[in-house]
Structure 1
Amino acid sequence: MSDHSLITLVTTDHAGITRGRALSRAAYEADTTKTCGWVPANFSLTPFGEIAFPNPWGSAGDLRLKPDPQARFTCHPKGAATPLDFVMSDVVNLDGSAFAACPRTILRQAIDALKKETGLSVTASFEHEFQFTDGAGEGAPFSLAKLRGMEIFAEDLFTALDQAGLGPENLLPEYGGHQFEVTVKPAAALAAADRAVALRAILNEVARTHGRTITMSPKSAPDGVGNGLHIHLSLTDENGRPATYSAGGPGGLSDRAARFAAGIVRHMRALVAFTACSAISGIRLQPHNWSSSYTWLGDRDRESSLRICPVVTMGGKTPDAQFNMEYRAADCTASPHLALAVLIFAGLQGLKENLPFAPVFSGDPDLLSPEERQRLGLHRLPTSIDACLAALDADGTVKSWFDPLMIESYTGMKRKEEDLMAGLSEEERCARYAEIY
Structure 2
Amino acid sequence: MDQQERARRAGAARKAAEDLAARGVTGVAVTWVDTSGVTRVKAVPLARLEHAAAWGIGASPVFDAFLLDDSIVSGRFAGGPVGDLRLYPDLDRLAVLTALPGWAWAPADRYDQDGVPHPLDARYLARRETDRLAVDGLSVRASFEVEWAASIGGGDEFVPACTGPAYGMTRLSERSGYLRDVVEALTAAGVAVEQIHPEYAAGQYEVSVAAEDPVGAADTAVLVRETIRAVSLRHDLRATFSPKVLADGVGNGAHVHLSLWRDGVNLMAGGEGRYGLTAAGEGFAAGILTRLPALLAIGAPSVASYLRLIPSHWAGAFACWGLENREAAMRFVTGSTGERPQAANLEVKCFDAAANPYLAMAALIAAGRAGLADGGTLPQSVEVDPASLGGDRGIAPLPSSLGAALQAFETDAVLKDALGQALIDTVATVRRGEIALFDGATPEEIAARTRWKH
Under TM normalisation by the shorter chain, which class is it? over 0.9
Query: In the alignment, does 2:93 pair up with 1:71?
Result: yes
- TM-score of the aligned structures, taking structure 2 as reference length: 0.90
Query: In the alignment, does 2:149 pair up with 1:124?
Result: no
Equivalent residue, structure 2, for 1:307: 331
1:15: Cα distance to partner? 1.4
1:383: Cα distance to partner? 2.2
Within 5 Å, give how 1:1-400 maps onto structure 2: 5-29=26-50, 32-57=53-78, 58-77=80-99, 80=100, 82-116=101-135, 118-134=136-152, 135-237=160-262, 239-246=263-270, 248-313=272-337, 317-369=338-390, 371-373=392-394, 378-400=395-417
1:4: Cα distance to partner? 9.0
Q: Distance in 2 between matches of 1:173 and 1:65?
A: 37
Q: Distance in 1 between matches of 2:371 and 2:340?
A: 23
Residues 292-301 or 18-27, more deviating: 18-27
The answer to whether the Cα contact below 8 Å between 1:123 and 1:188 also exists between their aligned partners in 2 is yes
Gapped regions of structure 1 (runs ≥ 5) = none
Aligned-partner SS, 1:94: coil
Q: Deviations over 1:374-414 (max 9, x none)?
A: xxxx4221122211111112322222222212211111111
Q: Distance in 2 between matches of 1:157 and 1:109?
A: 32
1:54: Cα distance to partner? 4.3
Q: Distance in 1 between matches of 2:278 and 2:191?
A: 29
Q: Deviations over 1:203-226 (max 9, x none)?
A: 100001111012111111121011
Equivalent AA in structure 2 for residue 179 of structure 1: Q
Q: Distance in 2 between matches of 1:370 and 1:25?
A: 64
Q: CA RMSD in A?
A: 1.8
Q: Distance in 1 between matches of 2:90 and 2:150?
A: 32
The answer to whether the Cα contact below 8 Å between 1:280 and 1:384 also exists between their aligned partners in 2 is no
Runs of 4+ in 1 over 6 A off after TM superposition: 1-4
Q: Distance in 1 between matches of 2:302 and 2:362?
A: 18
Q: Distance in 2 between matches of 1:55 and 1:151?
A: 50
Q: Distance in 1 between matches of 2:374 and 2:193?
A: 38
Equivalent AA in structure 1 for residue 364 of structure 2: L
Q: Distance in 1 between matches of 2:391 and 2:401?
A: 22
Gapped regions of structure 2 (runs ≥ 5) = 1-20, 153-159
Q: Distance in 2 between matches of 1:299 and 1:115?
A: 28
Q: Distance in 2 between matches of 1:54 and 1:161?
A: 38
Equivalent AA in structure 2 for residue 273 of structure 1: A
Identity %: 31
Aligned-partner SS, 2:94: strand
The answer to whether the Cα contact below 8 Å between 1:222 and 1:426 also exists between their aligned partners in 2 is yes
1:50: Cα distance to partner? 0.6
Give the number of aligned pairs. Answer: 425
Equivalent AA in structure 1 for residue 423 of structure 2: M
The answer to whether the Cα contact below 8 Å between 2:300 and 2:355 also exists between their aligned partners in 1 is yes
